[in-house]
Amino acid sequence: MKDQVTALKEAGIPAAYLNSSLNAAQQREVLRRAGLGAYRLIYVAPERLLTDSFLTFTERQRISLLAVDEAHCVSQWGQDFRPNYLDIPAFVRRLPHRPVLAAFTATATDEVGQDIVRKLELRNPFHLVTGFDRPNLFFDVRRERDKLAWLQDYLCNHRNQSGIVYCATRKTVEQVCEKLEAVGFAATRYHAGLDDAERQDNQDAFAYDRVTVMVATNAFGMGIDKSNVRFVIHYNMPKNIESYYQEAGRAGRDGAPADCILLFSAGDVITAEYLINNGTEREQLPEDLRAELLIRDRKRLRQMQAYCQSEGCYRAALLRYFGEAHSSTCGNCGNCLQTEEASSGETVEEEITLTAQKILSCLRRVERKNRVGLGETMLVKILVGSREKTLLAREYDLLPTYGILKGANRNLVHELIHALEKQKYLLRPPGEYDVLQTTERADDVLFRGEQVLWRHAVNQPRQSIQKTDAGNPEETEQNLYEQLCVLRAELARQAGVPAYVIFHDATLLELAKQQPTAEKTLLAVSGIGEQKAAKYGSAVLEVIAQWRAAQLRKPSDSAADKKAPQPLLRLRPDQLARYEVDPAGISMTEFAKRLTALKDEDQPGELTGRQLSNRLLEKGILEEYLAETGRPRRRTTPAGEAVGIRMETRTNETGKPYIMVTLTEQAQRWLIDRMSNCDQ
């Protein structure tokens, strides 16, 4: 609520909110001002609707519209059922005049949509589905043997971007956040086990870009409206597709490209099953309804698992789930890109008949022993010869197929089981428990010599960024985009709001492409209205004008101009984390020396103050001018001032004054972030 009200005020729309974060005096002041007509919009938590103070307020006010956001919460069949949402119809009935009632949600199936109409007592509602598709989002599911190593590598390549890492449990959040911080990433955490003050501080740090990575459980949920989230990584598989699509949808809300990547493993299924079976959020419901919802949740878990194991277009699978038709391919998801790679010889086909016979034979013997199927995890443990107590207690170690794949990598065995399931040799029947069973087709492999082939990608990293470069600035415009980012950060600091409230990333990208020169053309840029043009237009136009002038001063194209710039010293995140910021400020030469001292003895490269100065000149952080002596000198630009680079007058040993470019504490921190091994 706070984020949305801040954004509305910035856009010139008076608004306020009422929730438990305000004390009693603050809530009374909001209601007093609202009674005087100070606001056009008030955000209210459902828990406050039937309080005496709010009911008294509404008795004297004519409410024109009551909008229910996250309306799926009113339905017991929605993934985020909140009983207080059921108070909304009672609140409406108590109003002197019934307002127009509207309900909004991004993740409702047809069943949930119908339930919303019933529970909110909507009268002949106008029903509009704008579409679930978010074309700017890149979807992928990856099976990584070392999730943490993959995550660190991904973040290294997206160091200056803002993103969320969702984990299934508080313990995993703590572990992942601690590991990321230890190697130098600007990360923080969020889960229900933290006290209110720490959760709020951490959320503010993320919103204001003081940290770039939020590691969180689904407690970091509804109302997160940070528009410049460039990636959402699910470290564990969620319990259902509704939750996944809602959480993934927090990426790319500004319309610019963003990644939504799910790191899947068989252990995620076990964790999700445990959370479903042991959840306490529905204890207040009747026992028969709890049992019905439990069966539904297990069904949804199997649908989520099927999505993770799908070989088809991920986007099409998501949209089909919500009842929206889509072509069989989208060209912007992991499977679609992998299909294109396959046509280019990027996959291999391998015969796995003997291994398939071992897997199917083992499961068939368990079926004969127990007359039921077996969970995937236990099947893998039998095949590799685990000595787990549960396995031994059930005497699975006495089966002839016990340990028949001893020494095999368990993740690989899981992948082969999924391959057999996709080829219909195995199935997961509907029911209370998630178990595997053999099919009639398994007999063809076991007794009739049918060959089993497994097509899989060549073992190379799949690109997890968008296939196209749409939305990314051209190389010649990158410098202007970065200068605009610096300006936005300074404007946000002055206004005391998150950077994305000033301008979305997509707006800066469009500014870098269009390069408007007057307020009239500035207003043609998406995301800039009259209010923002009046407040920030002159500063934006000045940065663009300076950049265009610098381009005109550049020498004409020559071989020297076209020569690629030499990369700066490459340092690992753990090395950068050892840098100690000097609060007194230092010269670029001293800064370069201290960074170079952090490298290993056998690590190539050396950073000099001149190299650093040249790169800052290229980035528009410094500029050249002719001094009174007629010799070229360098000084900081407004963009450089914004990041903390200062021009200071010093005195040399002979008492003669000179000007030195000084890196303040702020500038050192900014440069450390920029000079990672991922951003040269």
Q: Output the domain CATH number for residue 47.
A: 3.40.50.300
Lowest mean pLDDT among 228-232, 267-271, 328-332, 559-563: 559-563
Element of type H or E holding 494:
helix 475-495
pLDDT tens digits, residue range 130-156?
Answer: 888 899 999 999 988 789 988 988 888
H-helix segments, 120-159: 147-156
- Mark whether 332 and 424 lie in a shared domain: no
Q: Output the domain CATH number for residue 484.
A: 1.10.150.80
Q: Is the pLDDT of residue 29 over 50?
A: yes
Give the list of residues 6+ apart from residue 503 with CB closer than 8 angstroms, or none: 484, 488, 511, 527, 528, 532, 536
Stronger pLDDT, 587 or 214, i.e. the higher one: 214
**pLDDT at residue 433, as a whole number:** 65
Confidence of residue 235 (pLDDT cuts 50, 70, 90): very high
Q: Is the pLDDT of residue 579 over 60?
A: yes
Residue ending a domain, among 286, 312, 346, is 346
- Mark whether 549 and 577 lie in a shared domain: no
Instruction: Give the domain extent around 540.
Output: 475-554
Q: For the chain, first and last CA: distance in Å? A: 38
Residue ending a domain, among 315, 346, 377, is 346
**pLDDT at residue 175, as a whole number:** 95
Pairing label, strands 213-216, 187-190: parallel
Selection from 615, 582, 581, 576 nearest residue 599 by Cα: 576
Assigned domain for 83 exists? yes
- Mark whether 160 and 285 lie in a shared domain: yes
Confidence of residue 496 (pLDDT cuts 50, 70, 90): confident
- Mark whether 180 and 307 lie in a shared domain: yes
- Mark whether 340 and 352 lie in a shared domain: no
- Mark whether 434 and 356 lie in a shared domain: yes
Q: Output the domain CATH number for residue 404.
A: 1.10.10.10
Our count of domains for the chain comes to 5
- Mark whether 335 and 375 lie in a shared domain: no
Residue ending a domain, among 429, 457, 485, is 457
The most confident of the ranges 78-82, 429-433, 467-471 is 78-82
Assigned domain for 561 exists? no
**pLDDT at residue 356, as a whole number:** 94
Instruction: Report DSSP letters for 420-476, one per residue.
Output: HHHTTSEE--SSSS--BEE-THHHHHHHS----EEEEE-SSPPP-S-SS-TTSPPHH
Residue type, 205: A
Stronger pLDDT, 630 or 411, i.e. the higher one: 411
pTM: 0.62
Assigned domain for 468 exists? no
pLDDT tens digits, residue range 211-232?
Answer: 899 999 988 875 567 888 999 9
Residue type, 546: Q
- Mark whether 658 and 538 lie in a shared domain: no
What average pLDDT score do residues 506-526 get?
A: 86
Assigned domain for 169 exists? yes
**pLDDT at residue 637, as a whole number:** 82
Q: Is the pLDDT of residue 629 over 60?
A: no
Assigned domain for 132 exists? no
**pLDDT at residue 631, as a whole number:** 59
Q: Is the pLDDT of residue 9 over 90?
A: no
Pairing label, strands 453-457, 347-351: antiparallel
**pLDDT at residue 164, as a whole number:** 96
**What is the Cα–Cα distance from 425 to 439, expressed in whole angstroms?**
5
Angle at 507 between CA 506 and CA 513, to 5 degrees: 90
Assigned domain for 282 exists? yes
Place of tokens 């002038």: 549
**What is the Cα–Cα distance from 93 to 91, expressed in whole angstroms?**
5
- Mark whether 494 and 450 lie in a shared domain: no
**pLDDT at residue 420, as a whole number:** 92
- Mark whether 256 and 389 lie in a shared domain: no
Q: What percent of the chain has pLDDT over 70?
A: 87
Q: Is the pLDDT of residue 461 over 50?
A: no
Residue 320 CB neighbour total at 10 angstroms: 14
Assigned domain for 11 exists? yes
SS (H, E, C) 153-213: HHHHCCCCCEEEEECCCHHHHHHHHHHHHHCCCCEEEECCCCCHHHHHHHHHHHHCCCCCE
**pLDDT at residue 237, as a whole number:** 93
Residue 132 CB neighbour total at 10 angstroms: 19
Pairing label, strands 213-216, 162-166: parallel
Q: Is the pLDDT of residue 564 over 70?
A: no
**pLDDT at residue 458, as a whole number:** 55
- Mark whether 87 and 108 lie in a shared domain: yes
- Mark whether 166 and 299 lie in a shared domain: yes
**pLDDT at residue 675, as a whole number:** 65
**pLDDT at residue 438, as a whole number:** 93
Assigned domain for 126 exists? no
